[in-house]
A and B are shown apart, each in its own frame.
Chain A
Amino acid sequence: MLRSLGARLLRLVPVLFLVSLGTFFLVDLVPGDPAVAILGSNATPEQYEAVRAELGLNESVVTRYFDWLGDTLRGDLGESLTPPTQSVTDLIQSRLPVTIQIATMAMLISVTVSIVLALAAAYRPGKVFDRVTSGTAFAAIAVPQFLTGLLLIFFVLFHTDLVRWFVLVAGIAGAVLIAVRAVGGVTDHPPGNERVRAAAIRAVLALAVVGFAVLLFARFPEFPRQGFTRISEDGLWPSLRDAFLPALTLAVAEIAIFMRLLRNDLITTLQEDYILSARAKGMPPWRILVRDALRPSSFSLITVAGVALGRLMGGTVIVETIFNLPGMGTLIVNAIGAQDVRVIQSSVLVIAVFYVLVNLLVDLSYSQLDPRLRRGRV
């Protein structure tokens, strides 16, 4: 375990070196004189000279790189080049938490929802629910994130009443469906305590669905069109509420991708012999799905979730722009507009390093989930 961790960390060193090299040379890739790009063409020669000195353009490339790398490793990312001049480290420190919060919430939403949907679809493959969710998922993958965001704004914010009534009707319909199914399902169980228990579970489920729908109908949260409350300011709820629509925007496509993947893996797992033996013992189908089939089916989901985090970090650029949130995405987009190369450089570097480290964690979590990987081939 420790040795594989060491090997992985060692492999990261050259990758991170190349990443730093790439972001460092971003400044040199700007066509023309960086000083002119930053100041515009109307500055005095002294001002140009000052900017060149600030960028260290008069020194050799190697010195500049190692100076920059040293500063960066010490956590000093320099000062922004365009006014208002401020420490880039402070800027990123205030912006990164917003992006991480949205990406994390999006990840939690997509993993939870996709697991529930995939289990329900794999429960009766090829039946109506499976076909509808699979078809919808295939379509949802083709919706660009900014369009998802605008659609959510259109319905949830501009046509709130429509959504509230839809939630109410869908909740009641769902509960009725559960009740109708229960009438047939309960008689599968032997009479006595077990049948009572099965009936009780279904009744509670139906009531929970109706209760949730009514609660949402009566007290629909007032999501903001734009803006953001940080976690510390006013407790947890306002922050979660403000980040919900942006996170949901990011989650929609991921839900679709995760769900398709997990559904297919579940269906493959369900053909294994041990599932047959569990079924022969008389285990209820839901228990087999959740307890026996879910874990061995989740490996490709975890790989893809690692990659998805990269999409989420990129996608926050779009949702932060739509919902006007103070995160890394709007920082980068604004810096591109202002041609502030140093802010772009530092933000891109921070995000890339963060992404690499998260993927390392994903790699390591495999061996925790799959005992077969702990020994043998690592």
Chain B
Amino acid sequence: MAVSEPTETKPVVQPATIGADVAAGTAAGASDIDAMLPRRRSRLLRFGVPTAVAGIALVVLGAVVMTEGTTWVRLSMIGAGLLAAYIGIDRVAKAVFGATFDTGLWMAAGWLALITLSAAFADLLPLSEHEDVSKTLTVTPMLTPDLLSSHPLGTDSQGLDVLGGVIYGARVSLVVGVGATVLGMVLGAAIGLVAGYLRGIVDAAVGLVGDAMLAFPPLILLLAMVAVLEPSIFNTTIALAILTVPTYIRLTRANTLLFAQREFVLAAKALGAKNRRIIVRELLPNVVLPVVSYGVIVVGALVVAEASLSFLGVGVQRPTPTWGNMIAAAQSRFESDPHLVFIPGACLFLTVYALNRVGESARAVWDPRQREL
């Protein structure tokens, strides 16, 4: 019956494929079986290596070599190549690191590392002018992407380099996203810890203010705050941090309540520890992991929020490039030059996707309440 196996978990090794080995071997644990499988491993490698190489070759062919080809053909070549490369690398990685290796997760982490490093060392990279319009008077505007030229991702309508814009935009996104998350986390966790431990009137007051802030839809609250602030990177960070505070208060409070009843807190109290010591030394270390692991997902949400504000023209303004304001600027020529929208858009998507992916696994490991659900 179809509905019958809801939580069917895939066995790490398929018995059918390893019949001979198991028959030859003795009763062994899963990892031993894994180690005894040279045949399965070599088959994975035999399939994986050529697929990965062919995929990468297809991407290179579509992106660099066939510069004369039709856009659609090249794009489908790149797409198919990326898919093949992913499948191939996945097989190879599973063969090398074991069948439970999560290739997608590591690729997500890799993308985050790439974007963070290039944003951090952007000043050292040989990028063309991306910010000052007066320096691009001699540059041809609206160059199409050509990975081997000095404008690998092309130029926009004012001759500004798109790759440079994307990398410096990553800097804004990451600084704002991470900065606001850390700020909101510290504030929210402090308030939530105190409210969850002291309970009573403090808890009620904090809960009320939190409820009032959550009564505004997030983007509306953000717009209201932005309306009274000068648009700058610093102010955007502050507004986004305030936005996350009530959520962090709730999260920290809920986790504090879990631990405040436990015996070690009672023991500390019986030993005469002051409230401050209990909160900082007993509760904080237990609460910090779930709160921080949730932070990765919050960074993703705030990167989107920052991009939305820039897109609406009320966030970080030109000449500072951000993914949001690059997309907004490219909107007027969207039909003829969609790549100006899709390049920063793809960076935004990949970054948020990677943050969600990494954040989900962080929460699965570190958040006790998440594991129960």
Residue pair B227, A313 in contact (C-beta under 8 Å): no
Task: Give residues 122-143 of A contacting B (CB, 8 Å).
Answer: 122-126, 138-139, 141-143
Contact of B312 among A16, A138, A147, A317 (CB under 8 A): A317
Chain B residues whose C-beta falls within 8 Å of the C-beta of A321 in the assembled complex: 311-312
Chain A residues whose C-beta falls within 8 Å of the C-beta of B4 in the assembled complex: 279
User: How many Å from the CB of B194 to the closest CB on chain A?
Assistant: 20
Task: Give residues 322-369 of A contacting B (CB, 8 Å).
Answer: 322, 332-333, 335-337, 339, 341, 344, 348, 351-352, 355-356
- Identify which of B12-20, B35-43, B210-218 touches chain A: B210-218
Residues of B participating in the A interface, judged by any CB pair closer than 8 Å: 1-8, 10, 208-209, 211-212, 215-224, 226-230, 300, 304, 307-308, 311-314, 324, 327, 331, 334-335, 338, 341, 345, 348-349, 352-353, 356-357
Given contacts A313-B217, A356-B215, contact A332 B223 (CB under 8 A): yes
Residue pair A150, B341 in contact (C-beta under 8 Å): yes
Task: Give residues 16-56 of A contacting B (CB, 8 Å).
Answer: 16, 18-19, 22-23, 26, 29-31
Residue pair A142, B208 in contact (C-beta under 8 Å): no
Contact of B216 among A19, A124, A146, A317 (CB under 8 A): A19
- Distance between Cα atoms of A23 and B218 in the complex (Å): 14
Q: Indicate with 1 or 0, residue by residue over A275-304, a CB within 8 angstroms of chain B CB atoms.
A: 100010000010011000000000000000
Interchain Cβ contacts under 8 Å between A and B, 18 examples: A15-B208, A15-B211, A26-B228, A31-B228, A122-B3, A126-B5, A142-B356, A147-B345, A147-B348, A271-B6, A279-B4, A285-B2, A289-B3, A314-B222, A317-B223, A318-B312, A333-B314, A352-B220
- Distance between Cα atoms of A341 and B216 in the complex (Å): 17
Residue pair B224, A138 in contact (C-beta under 8 Å): no
- Distance between Cα atoms of A23 and B212 in the complex (Å): 11
Residue pair A318, B308 in contact (C-beta under 8 Å): yes
- Distance between Cα atoms of A153 and B345 in the complex (Å): 14
Residue pair A146, B227 in contact (C-beta under 8 Å): no
Chain B residues whose C-beta falls within 8 Å of the C-beta of A344 in the assembled complex: 223-224, 227
- Distance between Cα atoms of A310 and B334 in the complex (Å): 29
User: How many Å from the CB of B306 to the closest CB on chain A?
Assistant: 10
Chain A residues whose C-beta falls within 8 Å of the C-beta of B6 in the assembled complex: 122, 125, 267-268, 270-271
- Distance between Cα atoms of A31 and B232 in the complex (Å): 14
Residue pair B3, A311 in contact (C-beta under 8 Å): no
A311-B217, A333-B313 given; 8 more Cβ-contact pairs under 8 Å: A26-B228, A126-B8, A144-B304, A144-B307, A150-B327, A150-B345, A336-B226, A348-B220
